[in-house]
Amino acid sequence: MLNVVIFGAPGSGKGTQSEFIEKKYGLVHLSTGDILRAEIAKGSEIGKIADGLISRGEFIPDDLMISILNGTIDKYPTSKGFIFDGFPRTVAQAEALDSMLKRRNIRVTLMLNIDVETNELVKRLLNRGKTSGRSDDNLKTIHQRIQVYETKTLPVIQFYDRQNKHHRIKGTGTMDEVFADICAAIDSVYPTKTNV
């Protein structure tokens, strides 16, 4: 089973690249941001908690996020593997992901860290904000999201470094170029008959 953690700051292109990976490798794409936005659209209890936090660029509490993800994995018992997009965002979430996969006798295969410098992230997110309709794609919240990323999420890199699973991907360049680097990283650790 191929399980990919796609990691990067807001605006690094995780969502776009996850869709490419999903198609090429036949994996299930789990985006915690998309899951939360769907809950907000439904007006569920989770959605009510998430709504204000997302608009302010703050994180949903680890316990809640972990239990949402745990429940979501169970919806795909026959999956060939998962792309975890937007999770883990804290070291506690990274530890929880390892345990929840271990209980199912599977594990993270590799972590792809899409690296984009901050000025470029802000530019991309402001641009996306013109059409995304997202409550968090405005300058104030963008700065907050990047700050939270730097303090809470960056330490997750060391977590996967220690497991030798961290692959840095240059996130600038065309979408195709970034995807080519991603495929090279995946194929180096998970060669399959169709990809060799």
5 vs 182 by CB, closer to ligand AMP: 5
Could you tell me whether strands 110-115 and 82-85 are parallel, antiparallel, or unpaired per DSSP bridges?
unpaired
Work out whether 10 is an interface residue with ligand AMP (CB under 6 A): yes
For residues 147-176, which are near ligand AMP according to CB under 6 A? none
Work out whether 32 is an interface residue with ligand AMP (CB under 6 A): yes
Is 124 known to be catalytic? no
Is 168 known to be catalytic? no
Which residue stretch of 19-27, 49-57, 99-107, 172-180 sits at the interface with ligand AMP (rule: CB under 6 A)? 49-57
Q: Contacting ligand AMP (CB under 6 A), which of 19, 38, 47, 59?
A: 59
Residue of this chain nearest to ligand AMP (CB atom):
33
- The least distance separating ligand AMP from the CB of residue 159, rounded to whole angstroms, comes to 14
Q: Could you tell me which residues come within 8 angstroms of residue 104 by beta carbon, excluding any fewer than 6 positions away?
A: 73
Is 152 known to be catalytic? no
Work out whether 93 is an interface residue with ligand AMP (CB under 6 A): yes
Classify residue 130 as exposed, middle or buried by CB count within 10 Å of its CB (0-12, 13-18, 19+): exposed
Is 107 known to be catalytic? no
Is 14 known to be catalytic? yes
Q: Do residues 50 and 35 make contact, with C-beta atoms less than 8 angstroms apart? A: no
Q: Do residues 154 and 92 make contact, with C-beta atoms less than 8 angstroms apart? A: no
- The least distance separating ligand AMP from the CB of residue 59, rounded to whole angstroms, comes to 4
Q: Contacting ligand AMP (CB under 6 A), which of 4, 65, 178, 185?
A: 65
DSSP string, 68-132: HHHHHHTT-TT-S-EEEES---SHHHHHHHHHHHHTTT----EEEEEE--HHHHHHHHHHHHHHH
DSSP string, 159-184: HHHHTT-EEEEE--S-HHHHHHHHHH
Work out whether 89 is an interface residue with ligand AMP (CB under 6 A): yes
Enzyme catalytic residues: 14, 89, 128, 134, 145
